[in-house]
């Protein structure tokens, strides 16, 4: 009986000590997953552009829901047999610091636009910070911006 009580106490202590790590993993889910400026941007998209978007799940859902535009992930993407590959590619698109890699993914899907919100994105394999530095390359052009999101297209000169 004494061994069982010690085992339970050890398990409770381990659970209690792991709570700070749990907070780190839960935090993005408790924060806003779509910013007010993104809603404004989706309304702009509805009235101004047409085409496939490279976006995380929540940005893709927003673009599909408000602007009726398809997204590589988000919206009806889950019905696609290639969903795991698409999530992996979107994850890589946001993570990479390489403009070459970003353009390669963009062209592989013949995408029209890319969605870069001022928050973490969820492309299917975890919350990540979108590495936007690569988008300063002349191959990419901002077509819409507000303090909470930027929408890019491939430059006409590429």
Over residues 95-127, the pLDDT tens digits come to 999 999 999 999 999 999 999 999 999 998 889
Local structure of 100: helix, strand or coil: helix
pLDDT above 70: percentage of residues in the chain? 77
Local structure of 108: helix, strand or coil: helix
Q: Residue 43: is its pLDDT beyond 90?
A: yes
DSSP 8-class letter at 79? G
Backbone φ/ψ region at 68: left (φ over 0), alpha (ψ -120 to 50), beta: left
pLDDT above 90: percentage of residues in the chain? 66
Phi, psi of 91 (to 5 degrees): -60, -45
Tokens representing 117 are 């919100």
Residue predicted with more confidence, 76 or 25: 76
84 confidence band (pLDDT: 50, 70, 90) = confident
DSSP 8-class letter at 126? S
H-run or E-run covering 141: strand 140-146
21 confidence band (pLDDT: 50, 70, 90) = low
Q: Residue 11: is its pLDDT beyond 80?
A: no
User: Are residues 54 and 114 in contact, defined by beta-carbon separation less than 8 angstroms?
Assistant: yes
8 confidence band (pLDDT: 50, 70, 90) = low
């Amino acid at each position: 009986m004494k061994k069982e009580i010690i085992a339970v106490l050890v398990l409770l202590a381990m659970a209690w000590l792991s709570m700070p790590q749990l907070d780190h993993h839960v935090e993005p889910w408790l924060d806003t997953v779509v910013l007010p400026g993104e809603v404004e941007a989706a309304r702009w998209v509805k009235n101004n552009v047409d085409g496939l978007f490279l976006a995380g799940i929540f940005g893709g859902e927003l673009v599909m829901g408000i602007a009726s535009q398809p997204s590589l992930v988000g919206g009806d993407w889950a019905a696609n047999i290639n969903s795991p590959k698409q999530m992996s590619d979107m994850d890589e698109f946001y993570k990479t610091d390489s403009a070459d890699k970003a353009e390669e993914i963009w062209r592989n899907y013949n995408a029209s636009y890319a969605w870069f919100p001022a928050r973490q994105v969820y492309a299917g394999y975890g919350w990540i910070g979108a590495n936007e530095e690569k988008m300063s390359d002349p191959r990419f052009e901002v077509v819409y911006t507000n303090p909470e999101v930027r929408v890019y297209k491939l430059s006409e000169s590429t």
